[in-house]
Structure 1
């Protein structure tokens, strides 16, 4: 592969990475931008609190379906081509969210923003097609850091603009403008990848995968509000399990599967994917929980620190910055420790951080230290996990390998959201709507156990490239 790179392309690699960093910064910006505006959107469209929850839910469902499909199509038809398509679809979605006169059309717009989640896997594939080794690791670290910082900038910007600008329409058009800039960059300045996988499309496999993701994520969404004993929850989760079995059986028999099950089950990748799922549980499952814990008034519920919104925003910003630091420095730690060593370190830091929160939840200095340790550890995992996956996956399956990583994190977050909600509900204090400290301690202990299981899984990981079946090389400027 390296023999196909000419000298001019080598000169442009740094610039291309810079362009992709801006694209990923935009991805994070969009992911953080809408959250502070949800209440204003609900008010503008006269939507109830229950209905507005679909604003986030449908985007998550669309992301769960679109990421593995578009990532695999990137391996087949070109990662830049799929990135262009994903950006166009997201642009249409952001315009609909801003301009739609009714809530149903706004929800259509949110569905169309689902492919936002596939930008990173496609960018990782583009980076690995051009550069390898430590340079590729640093580039991936920059992409992940940009995503993390973008979420922070998006949330802060939305808060400022939502307060300063009376027109919600103008505020909601800001994401569309930034996505349009990304579209110009990807259409004019980013080269196409030069390796293709088998051009056959597994339509049955893609369909089974999409329906499975919808059933699972929607079932977990219902479980968050109605519990796992609800009939609808049980039906959807049982159906999802049956679809998963059918999908695996089909993929194992197909000569050009949508997802290479044998690749996922290889000793090089399954421990990393297990770690990704468990990491996703903690990363996405505790975001709201941390805020409610810190904001709780100890005089009323016996725990928390009664932090005002301004202090809470500082904690959120600090955690994001720590994660960005970890993601941007993992490549330097990988030189003496190796990527597995970085993963072990990241997992160990998170075990320590969550145990500290569980045991010393009333001591503010230790809580702060626990957040610092966990934030840095999370950053190391955010950078090292996709980097290791990209390095051990076959050259013609980098996109789908990174896409599966993203999807597993999403699934982990959905599982945690439902599970942690049930745990907190079991500890609700009498005559209040707040959970007792026992609920938070239980969640942190579960998080520590998740990372301990990830540590054990990583012990079985063996870093070796998994062979691919005759990847097809195409022109560098295809």
Structure 2
């Protein structure tokens, strides 16, 4: 297959529709983009200021945006105790600071991603950045905890920044260059999380005015507003789909009720009304929502695309990956802190030492996410995903059978960082490559939602497992930790099975031909080029 053109020409016109697809496992192929008819005069890409910009500069601006996303997410983590004292709330109340943000994110991701496909990804990114700026200001200036929670709801669109940025990248470039760019976005988001945690710890120790401490995220977000408004160009492909308001409402209600049920499992028990009522409500809403989405001409989520053999393997992998990594984030921390003289296992590590190990794990993930494209050049995208899953499974096996040896536990953390980085980089890039050109935003948004939902499901399951063996004054038993890691191995084995269903084939020259002949169940709406 010929080399893919990786330069955007503003006056190119797509021929033959906007759909695209790719054989995910072919190690030498590049994803076929739309065919273009370039004009004889090729102007440079320009931002909204009218200043000519190279694509590398635009990627740099998007990297800063994603660094800001990670910074804001990580900044509050070390401050939970201080924030509880500031607002006069309990440790139980502060959990809503996280829970409401998660619920808001779950609603915002698919809605804003889909609207980006219809109206423009930069437009929605602008809206999302402004909402986050207002939200962090609410958190900083509010003395009333109710207003603080309003601010946290407003910061929910933070989670849709990445899907919108991925759509902007894939609107301009393709192939290995796009993969490298997405890898850098995710890598710098992770760096931002670590930087946010470190900066908040330092500033909280130096600054007595806590309002000023909480204003730091607002300062960096304000810089982000300038970048998005003046230095990032708009995407060029639009979906002709209309807005499915009822579909979005049903999806939001389904996700909110599910997350409320999951968040109450550990506190109230799985058989409690606080869990069963929202869980049953979620089931009813989901059934009605699926029926509606299957009937409407322009659904909020194209279920035919999601369940096609083209897309369901990476989507299922994203959900399982979320269960294993996001769902068990606190497990390894409590294991390292456990005192062997009291419970018979663990290493009695101080928080500072644990944070150093966590930082090393994060750094490994950053490197893996930034470099996955180079590995994909040799073994293909499916090969990268299988390698990442193998690293994670090996780490869990080490924790099951060698959790009493510190050197092997550290090795398992390195494996977790490497495997997580490869999957964090490759999965969203692959989803964007496989999606139709006018559905890149929502396709990436679904990936992000499934990963987050997997983390919520895993956290609820693992929380119940850990709580089932808690002994007063000593914590959970070793058998609970092992059960968490066994479930992780089982989920990763399912990832391998799902990835083996991914097709390995070289697509024809006309990308639309494969969409019609191989995946007729995927209905791709017409699209138009917007300049």
Q: 2:525 aligns to what? A: 469
The structural deviation recorded for 1:234 is 1.2
**Preserved CA contact (<8 Å) 2:266 2:467:** no
Q: 2:496 aligns to what? A: 455
Which of residues 218, 225, 236 in structure 2 aligns to 1:176? Answer: 218
Deviations 1:229-280 (A, max 9, x none): 2122111112112211111111111111101000100101101111000101
Deviations 1:63-97 (A, max 9, x none): 01111000000000000000000000000000000
Q: How large is the Cα RMSD of the aligned pairs? A: 1.4
Deviations 1:401-438 (A, max 9, x none): 00000101111111111100111112223x42500111
**Is residue 171 of structure 2 the alignment partner of residue 129 of structure 1?**
yes
More displaced 10-residue stretch of structure 1: 398-407 or 46-55: 46-55
The runs of at least 4 aligned residues of structure 1 exceeding 4 Å deviation read 4-7, 463-467
* Separation in 2, partners of 1:328, 1:79: 23
Q: 2:272 aligns to what? A: 230
Q: Which has the higher contact order (CA 8 A, sep 6+)?
A: 2
**Preserved CA contact (<8 Å) 1:42 1:52:** yes
Deviations 1:432-455 (A, max 9, x none): 250011111110111111111111
* TM-score using structure 1 length: 0.97
**Is residue 374 of structure 2 the alignment partner of residue 332 of structure 1?**
yes
Q: 2:290 aligns to what? A: 248
Q: 2:281 aligns to what? A: 239
* Separation in 2, partners of 1:340, 1:92: 40
Q: 1:166 aligns to what? A: 208
Q: Secondary structure in 1 aligned to 2:102?
A: helix
**Preserved CA contact (<8 Å) 1:218 1:236:** yes
Q: 1:436 aligns to what? A: 477
**Preserved CA contact (<8 Å) 2:68 2:220:** yes
* Separation in 1, partners of 2:523, 2:180: 25
Matches within 5 A, 1:184-195: 184-195=226-237
* Separation in 2, partners of 1:123, 1:254: 28
* TM-score using structure 2 length: 0.87
* Separation in 2, partners of 1:124, 1:62: 21
**Is residue 70 of structure 2 the alignment partner of residue 9 of structure 1?**
no
**Preserved CA contact (<8 Å) 1:227 1:418:** no
Q: 2:111 aligns to what? A: 69
The structural deviation recorded for 1:105 is 0.3
Q: Which has the higher helix share?
A: 1
Matches within 5 A, 1:27-426: 27-426=69-468
**Preserved CA contact (<8 Å) 1:394 1:467:** no
Q: Secondary structure in 2 aligned to 1:472?
A: strand
Q: Secondary structure in 1 aligned to 2:44?
A: helix
* Separation in 2, partners of 1:113, 1:395: 28
Structure of larger gyration radius: 2
* Separation in 2, partners of 1:248, 1:441: 37
* Separation in 1, partners of 2:255, 2:488: 24
Q: Secondary structure in 2 aligned to 1:8?
A: coil
Query: Unaligned stretches of 5+ in structure 2?
Result: 1-13, 15-33, 47-52, 505-513, 516-521
**Is residue 486 of structure 2 the alignment partner of residue 445 of structure 1?**
yes
The structural deviation recorded for 1:196 is 0.7
The structural deviation recorded for 1:467 is 6.3
More displaced 10-residue stretch of structure 1: 8-17 or 375-384: 8-17
**Preserved CA contact (<8 Å) 2:257 2:279:** yes
More displaced 10-residue stretch of structure 1: 374-383 or 464-473: 464-473
**Preserved CA contact (<8 Å) 2:343 2:474:** no
Deviations 1:364-398 (A, max 9, x none): 11111111112101100000000110000000000
The structural deviation recorded for 1:199 is 4.0
Query: Unaligned stretches of 5+ in structure 1?
Result: none
* Separation in 2, partners of 1:235, 1:276: 28
* Separation in 2, partners of 1:334, 1:244: 37
